[in-house]
Amino acid sequence: MTTIENFGENVSFQPQGIYFPENVDELLQLMSDHPESQFRAIGSLHSWSDVTITTGVLLNLKNIDSVTITERGTVVVGAGCQIKNLLAALSKKKMTLPSVGLIAEQTVAGATATGTHGSGRNSLSHYIRSVSIAHFDEDGRPVISTVDSGTELLAARCSLGLMGVIFELELEIRPEYSIEEHGRHHSTLNSIFEMEKTYPLQQFYLMPWSWSYFAHHRRETEISASRFTWVYRIYRLFVVDVLLHIVAMFLARFFRFKWAIRFFYRAVLPFTIIRNWKVADRSTNQLTMNHHWFRHLEIELFVRREKLPTAMDFLMDALKVFADQKSSFSKVINERLTALGIEKELENARGRYCHHFPICTRRIMEDETLLSMACGNGSEKPECDQRPTEGDRDWFAISLISFQHPSDRDGFFAFANFIGPCFAQFFGGRSHWGKYNQLSHETNLRLYPRLDEFREVIRRFDPEGRFQNKWLDRTVGQTES
Ligand X SMILES: Cc1cc2nc3c(=O)[nH]c(=O)nc-3n(C[C@H](O)[C@H](O)[C@H](O)COP(=O)(O)OP(=O)(O)OC[C@H]3O[C@@H](n4cnc5c(N)ncnc54)[C@H](O)[C@@H]3O)c2cc1C
Task: Give the burial class of 175: count Cβ atoms within 10 A of its Cβ; 0-12 exposed, 13-18 middle, 19 or more buried.
Answer: exposed
Coil/strand/helix, residue 242: helix
Binding status of residue 165 toward ligand X by CB under 6 A = yes
Nearer to ligand X, 64 or 323 (CB): 64
- How far is 55 from 14, CA to CA, in rounded Å? 6
Asked if 286 touches ligand X (CB under 6 A), the answer is no
Among 86, 89, 111, 312, binds ligand X (CB under 6 A): 111
Strand partners, 51: none
**Which one of the spans 44-52, 203-211, 241-249, 378-386 is the region binding ligand X (CB under 6 A)?**
44-52
Contacts of 65 (CB under 8 A, 6+ apart): 77, 78, 79, 80, 81, 82, 85
Q: Out of 103, 207, 297, 400, point to the residue binding ligand X (CB under 6 A).
A: 103
CA 118: distance to chain centroid? 8
Residue 146, strand partner residues: 132
Asked if 437 interacts with ligand X (CB under 6 A), we say no
Residue 419 touching ligand X (CB under 6 A): no
CB nearer ligand X, residue 40 or residue 450: 40
Q: Is the CB of 299 or the CB of 319 nearer to ligand X?
A: 299
| d(C-alpha 145, C-alpha 230), whole Å | 47
Helix-, strand-, coil-residue percentages of the chain, each rounded to 5: 35, 20, 40
Site for ligand X contains 43 (CB under 6 A): yes
Choices 10-18, 97-105, 196-204, 417-425 (CB under 6 A): range interacting with ligand X: 97-105
C-alpha triplet 475, 476, 478: angle, nearest 5°:
110
41 scored as a contact of ligand X (CB under 6 A): yes
Q: Where are any strands of DSSP class E within 335-382?
A: 359-364
For position 156 contacting ligand X by CB under 6 A, the verdict is no
Cβ 215 to ligand X shortest distance, Å: 17
Q: Which is nearer to ligand X, 382 or 463 (CB)?
A: 463
161 binds ligand X (CB under 6 A): yes
- Total of chain residues touching ligand X, rule CB under 6 A: 32
Judged by CB, which is closer to ligand X: 107, or 283? 107
Decide whether 297 or 333 has the Cβ nearer to ligand X.
297
Question: Binding residue for ligand X (CB under 6 A) from 4, 11, 27, 61?
Answer: 61
C-alpha span between 65 and 63 (Å, rounded): 6
Q: Which one of the spans 157-165, 304-312, 326-334, 408-416 is the region binding ligand X (CB under 6 A)?
A: 157-165
User: Is 40 near ligand X (CB under 6 A)?
Assistant: yes
Per CB under 6 A, does 99 bind ligand X?
no
DSSP states along 361-373: EEEEPPBSSSSST
Among 182, 292, 336, 441, binds ligand X (CB under 6 A): 292
CA within 13 Å, CB half, 111: 30
The answer to whether residues 216 and 236 touch, using CB atoms and an 8 Å cutoff, is no
- Binding stretches for ligand X (CB under 6 A): 7, 40-47, 51-52, 61, 79, 101-103, 106-107, 109-111, 113-114, 116-117, 160-161, 165-166, 291-292, 434
